[in-house]
Amino acid sequence: MPNLRKYIKSDLTFEQGPIRPPSEARSLLMRFTRNCPWNKCTFCPIYKGQKFSRRSVKEIKRDIDNISEIIDDIKCISLALGEGGRLTRDVLKIIWSQTSAYYYRTVALWLYYGEGNVFIQDANSLIMPTSDLVEVLRYLKEKIPGVRRITSYARSSTLSRKTLEEIKELKEAGLTRIHIGLESGSDNVLKFVKKGTTAAKHIDAGVKVKEAGITLSEYVMPGLGGKRWWEEHALETARVLNEINPDFIRLRSLRIPPTAPLYQDFVSGRFEPLSDDEVVREIRLFIKSLEGITSTLTSDHIINLLEEVEGTFPQDKEKMLSVIDRYLNLPEREKLLYRLGRRGGTLRCLDDLKDPVLRDKLETALNDLSREAPEGIEQIIDELGNQYI
């Protein structure tokens, strides 16, 4: 095998941030801004204590140049291995074996699995001046022709300040999908958790993104209204989404790790969280209230209790409600068994309870917990759920 060291340059790096949506698991992560410009949402533990900063156009272009050069080097490695410049599985394995070549490994994996998708980090890179963002998007597509889809997080408050013409410019420059953390459509809830936006801004931003022809994913946080506002949270969030009709509605049920500021509201009694069953009932009301839309709803994160609540409106609405009703109609011990298995990462759907091997393990675990900590089962299940934050 040829010596690969001459093809792998240690000075070719590019900056990446800490998070991305689950749906962007195979995307190439590129950091245009650092951390979050708002950083006040009480439910969010990410970026706390970190200062927001913008990266310059020059810095971003340098990263793009480095990625482009890494791609060229990978082609040279393939040629040296007799693979004709193609990134075959054998070439990928050899590059992946170079443990010190992190950026080459990252780009090689993306070329092999990523389908040309790029995700722009961090929390709100659309806060960049539109002209700067258009410039780097065009440069990205020019320097890396394999890029087919470019996506980014954005805040509604930021998008509402941009004109429709600006958002159309971003679409024309290559931005194809925007992920917005809607969280709630209730102004009371949004104010309480310091989201820094309003239902009206959510609608304005979402409608403009859709009108610009950009695919829109809106993230909803079941449970965020707590016991005080759960019904308003469900109904108002549905109302806002009925106005927007996003391409995707993604559920991300509330968890409150000790590192989130909302935890202090929980400890002080200012916020009373819902139980798992109460969250499920809230989701039922939310889905029932979604009307006149063609969105696809997903529960594509392990923090959601019922991952199989998914489908496209209007045709799958009753199917989604039936999954919820099936869970709610289970005997209490069956619900407890399912919750233990789901929070422990063992179960993905209700039918998994029918698996005799999985069920036997869960029965044994539940019986042990009932003997050793009968008063602490709920706390244990809650702690298991927090491990995925």
Determine the residue type at 372: E
Residues 181 and 42 in one domain: yes
Question: What does the block give as tokens for 62?
Answer: 């340098």
Q: What is the pTM of this model?
A: 0.93
Query: How far is the C-alpha of 182 from the C-alpha of 187, rounded, in Å?
Result: 11
SS3 content of the chain, % helix, strand, coil (to 5): 50, 10, 40
22, 300 Cβ separation under 8 angstroms: yes
**What is the residue range of 338's domain?**
331-389
Is 91 found in the same domain as 59?
Answer: yes
- The answer to whether residues 69 and 184 belong to one domain is yes
For 249, the 3-state DSSP assignment is strand
Q: Is 377 helix (H, G, I), strand (E, B) or coil?
A: helix
- H or E stretch including 218? strand 215-220
Going from the C-alpha of 102 to that of each of 2, 116, 148, 359, 361, the distances in angstroms are 20, 19, 23, 41, 39
60 plus 202 within the same structural domain = yes
Domain boundary among 280, 305, 330: 330
Q: pLDDT (tens digit, 0 to 9) for every residue of the chain, 389 residues total?
A: 667 777 888 899 999 999 999 889 999 999 999 999 999 999 999 999 899 999 999 999 999 999 999 999 999 999 999 999 999 999 999 999 988 899 999 999 999 998 899 999 999 999 999 999 999 999 999 999 999 999 999 999 999 999 999 999 999 999 999 999 999 999 999 999 999 999 999 999 999 999 999 999 999 999 999 999 999 999 999 999 999 999 999 999 999 999 999 999 999 999 999 999 999 999 999 999 999 999 999 998 999 999 999 999 999 999 999 999 999 999 999 999 999 999 999 999 999 999 999 999 999 998 988 887 767 788 888 888 887 77
Query: How many domains, the chain?
Result: 2
DSSP-derived letter for residue 245 is -
Q: Do 267 and 368 share a domain, yes or no?
A: no
Same domain, 252 and 353: no
| The two structure tokens encoding residue 75 | 């082609």
Cα–Cα distance measured from residue 327 to residue 346, given in angstroms and rounded to the nearest whole number: 17
Is there a single domain that holds both residue 321 and residue 349? Answer: no
Judge whether 229 and 186 are in contact, CB under 8 Å. yes
Residues 338 and 292 reside in one and the same domain: no
The answer to whether the CB of 106 falls within 8 A of the CB of 67 is no
Whether the ω angle into residue 258 lies within 30 degrees of 0, i.e. cis, is no
Structure tokens at 126: 């659309």
CATH code: domain of residue 122: 3.80.30.20
Q: Do 125 and 235 sit in the same domain of this protein? A: yes
